[in-house]
Structure 1
């Protein structure tokens, strides 16, 4: 195997190992997201889209070259088999060997290209999942806080209603007491008026009696004076 295809095979093995490692359920998406957002990977990630496209282009070139060689050696082998002249077994074995190498390179480059795209997509999905989980936890905390706040508000509203009801009951009791005081004062007023009328009538009667007594005294004194004159 030539050097370039050895490198492509090594890349394929590395991609396969990283893909399997990313699929291990022991490591949470949040941990992977923190690793992806580390300072080292973030410095690399600033140019990751360029690296991805360049490496994708290189793998695509190797993949197309493998297809070209596979078609070339397949055509040569078919031409040898169709030819009228005889050919040796060694030539046929060499043709099959070259075709086998071309097919091997085709599968290596194809799997490398496929795993490179899958790896990139998998890392993106893990990062998005970690962000979604973080947002979900934040939303749950916010909803819990809002629920606690709503419960406190309901409790406060209930306490305010009870306080208002107590105030209404106190006001109603005060109104009842005021009404009772009013009735009591009205009764006392009526009794005082009746007593004042009785006193007034008694006073008038006493005045009349006093006037009568004065008249009687005047008559008596007039009679005495008339007797003295006689």
Structure 2
């Protein structure tokens, strides 16, 4: 295996190892996000896209070269020469095997390189989604607590209004009883005043009758005096 294909093979093994590590179930997406947010990755982030596309181009070139080699050693001309010379037949099959091996190595390297980038992106998205969901859950808990508090406040307000209504009803009932009591007292006072007016009118009539009787008696007294005086004069 030449140096370039040895490097591609080691690159493929590294990709397999990294993808297996990224797929470990007990390492959460938040943990991976904290790893990806290290300062070294922030320093390498401006070069990440360039490195990614450079490796894609290199692997595509090697893949195309492997495809060319496979087509070269699997073509009819190579097989025709191999049938003439048995040594050439073994050599052609060895070259074809190596070309196919290189094709698989470069193809899987491209595939795993894209998969690794996608896995890293998905892990970041999952971590962000979990953080947002945690924030939303906290907001929802706060909203539920606030709603429960408002509900308790509404119940307390309803209870206070009900107590106030009962108290007002009791006060109104008491005021009604007091008004009825005062009305009865006013009615009794009016009745007593009416009786007093009747008694005063009766006393006035009685006083008027007494005055008339007094005048009559006084008139008779004057008449008797006059008669007595006239009788005394006749006797003299």
Q: Secondary structure at the match of 1:25?
A: coil
Q: Does 1:79 align with 2:75?
A: no
Q: Does 1:208 align with 2:205?
A: yes
Rounded to whole Å, the distance in 1 between the matches of 2:11 and 2:90 is 30
Q: Give the count of matched residue pairs.
A: 226
Rounded to whole Å, the distance in 2 between the matches of 1:227 and 1:113 is 165
Aligned ranges 1:181-200 → 2 under 5 Å: 181-200=178-197
Rounded to whole Å, the distance in 1 between the matches of 2:140 and 2:46 is 35
Q: 2:165 aligns with which of 151, 168, 171?
A: 168
**What is the aligned-residue RMSD (CA, Å)?**
1.6
The one-character-per-residue Cα deviations of 1:147-197 (angstroms, maximum 9, x if unpaired) are 111111111111111111122222222222222222111111111111001
Asked if the contact 2:79–2:89 (Cα under 8 Å) also holds between the matched residues in 1, the reply is: no
Unaligned runs of 5+ in 2: 229-236
Q: Does 1:2 align with 2:13?
A: no
Deviation at 1:93, TM superposition (A): 2.6
- The runs of at least 4 aligned residues of structure 1 exceeding 6 Å deviation read none
Asked if the contact 1:77–1:96 (Cα under 8 Å) also holds between the matched residues in 2, the reply is: no
Deviation at 1:47, TM superposition (A): 3.5
- What's the counterpart of residue 106 of structure 1? 103
The one-character-per-residue Cα deviations of 1:86-105 (angstroms, maximum 9, x if unpaired) are 4243x333222222221221
Unaligned runs of 5+ in 1: none
Q: Secondary structure at the match of 1:162?
A: helix
- What's the counterpart of residue 232 of structure 2? none
Higher-Rg member (1/2): 2
Deviation at 1:23, TM superposition (A): 0.5
Q: Secondary structure at the match of 2:218?
A: helix
Rounded to whole Å, the distance in 1 between the matches of 2:156 and 2:86 is 104
- What's the counterpart of residue 66 of structure 1? 66
Between 1:61-70 and 1:177-186, the stretch displaced more is 177-186
Asked if the contact 1:66–1:105 (Cα under 8 Å) also holds between the matched residues in 2, the reply is: yes
Q: 2:116 aligns with which of 111, 116, 119?
A: 119
Rounded to whole Å, the distance in 2 between the matches of 1:126 and 1:46 is 20
- What's the counterpart of residue 231 of structure 2? none
Using the size of structure 1 for normalisation, the TM-score is: 0.91
Aligned ranges 1:135-174 → 2 under 5 Å: 135-174=132-171
Rounded to whole Å, the distance in 1 between the matches of 2:127 and 2:147 is 30
Q: Secondary structure at the match of 2:74?
A: helix
The one-character-per-residue Cα deviations of 1:11-53 (angstroms, maximum 9, x if unpaired) are 1111000000000011101111121222211222233222211
Rounded to whole Å, the distance in 1 between the matches of 2:26 and 2:66 is 38
Asked if the contact 1:30–1:130 (Cα under 8 Å) also holds between the matched residues in 2, the reply is: yes
